[in-house]
Amino acid sequence: MPSEANSRLLAGFLDYLKIEKGLAPLTVSAYTTDIGQFASFLEKRKRTLSNARRNDVRDFIQQLFSNQVDGRSVGRKLSALRHLYRYLLLDKVIEHDPTLNIDTPKQWKVLPKSLARDEIESMLRSLHPASNRKEAEVLAARDRAMLEVFYAGALRVSEIIGIKLEDLKLDLGYVLVRGKGDKERIVPLGRSAQDALTSYMSHSRVALAAGKTSPLLFFARGGRKLTRQRVWQMVRQVSVAAGRNASPHMLRHSCATHMVENGADLRTVQTILGHADIGTTQVYTHLALDRLKNVYQKHHPRAKAR
């Protein structure tokens, strides 16, 4: 358990995240866990969050790596500490930030797993009704529309199951999405996604509702809200049938990856993904650099000169 001094600091910081920053409960919970770990580490050294030194932060990170914590998780914990000490500086609780000049773990820059474009196509082609029954056809149409929207807009699971019918502007080619911290963003929908949604809306949504009403765009039988687990299960089943073992988040990363490969700038990708910080989107930077090199090699008159 954190000491009384650490508990007070942490409580103030969490209130700041929820009230001032409007972060989602899951994000606040992750910050609580990560900072609580560091507080416990400090207490063994007879120190508190307010008098931690740079060496304490470095040793904490080293201990995490020694305990086989992966680089991405270490990066997340370091990010939580940076936010905490930025808050404490602004609140004039401390005079020096112990997280300054500490490098983010290199593993943080590893590109998230994504699917190739032909694998995405294979997934969509493999999505067929499980039987000849009308209900199976209705579910297959819903799932196809969901997969198209996942890939078109790089959506998170929580975002896609939370889309309301009124959020869909099919005639204008976009959907309004509520992301982390209940922040809204407009996500464009390509022609394939629009066609799949038109088919779903025209024939399948009413049949799936079975006489019930729902404000949601996508739902389970009888208008019941879809669970995150069910969506994960659906994506997993379709991907396995296509020869991969994918997750909804892989579809999100695939969208971002393919956009950057095709020349999209990172600011545009940041907007579509709903990243608050461009630094989060920069995980895709090396794709942009690869494309830059290829274009240079192809078009510069002296790129291949001997």
| The pLDDT of residue 105 | 67
Q: How far is CA 30 from the centre of its chain?
A: 14
Name the pTM for this structure.
0.61
Query: Which whole number is the average pLDDT over 49-73?
Result: 86
Cα 36–Cα 38–Cα 39 angle in degrees, nearest 5: 60
For the beta carbon of residue 115, count every other beta carbon within 10 angstroms. 22
For the beta carbon of residue 109, count every other beta carbon within 10 angstroms. 14
- Return the percentage of the chain with pLDDT > 90, whole number: 44
| The pLDDT of residue 173 | 94
| The pLDDT of residue 108 | 44
Q: How confident is the model at residue 193 (pLDDT cuts 50, 70, 90)?
A: very high
| The pLDDT of residue 106 | 60
**Residue 263, amino acid:** G
Residue 125 has pLDDT above 80, yes or no: yes
Task: Tell me, letter by letter, the H, E, C secondary structure of 5-46.
Answer: HHHHHHHHHHHHHHHHCCCCHHHHHHHHHHHHHHHHHHHCCC
Q: Who has greater pLDDT, 200 or 133?
A: 200
Candidate ranges 49-63, 120-134, 159-173; pick with highest mean pLDDT: 159-173
* Domains (range + CATH), the chain: 4-109 (1.10.150.130), 117-291 (1.10.443.10)
Q: Whole-number mean pLDDT of the chain?
A: 86
| The pLDDT of residue 290 | 65
Longest dimension (CA), the chain: 73
For the beta carbon of residue 212, count every other beta carbon within 10 angstroms. 11
Q: Who has greater pLDDT, 205 or 284?
A: 205
The closest of 153, 151, 158, 149 to 178, measured between CA atoms, is: 158
Residue 200 has pLDDT above 70, yes or no: yes
Residue 1 has pLDDT above 50, yes or no: no
Residue 111 has pLDDT above 90, yes or no: no
**Does residue 216 contact residue 161 with C-beta atoms inside 8 Å?**
yes
50-88: b or e for each residue (b if 16 or more CB lie within 10 Å)? eebeeebbeebbeebeeeebebeebbbbbbbbbbbbebb
Q: Kindly list the catalytic residues.
A: 156, 180, 249, 252, 275, 284
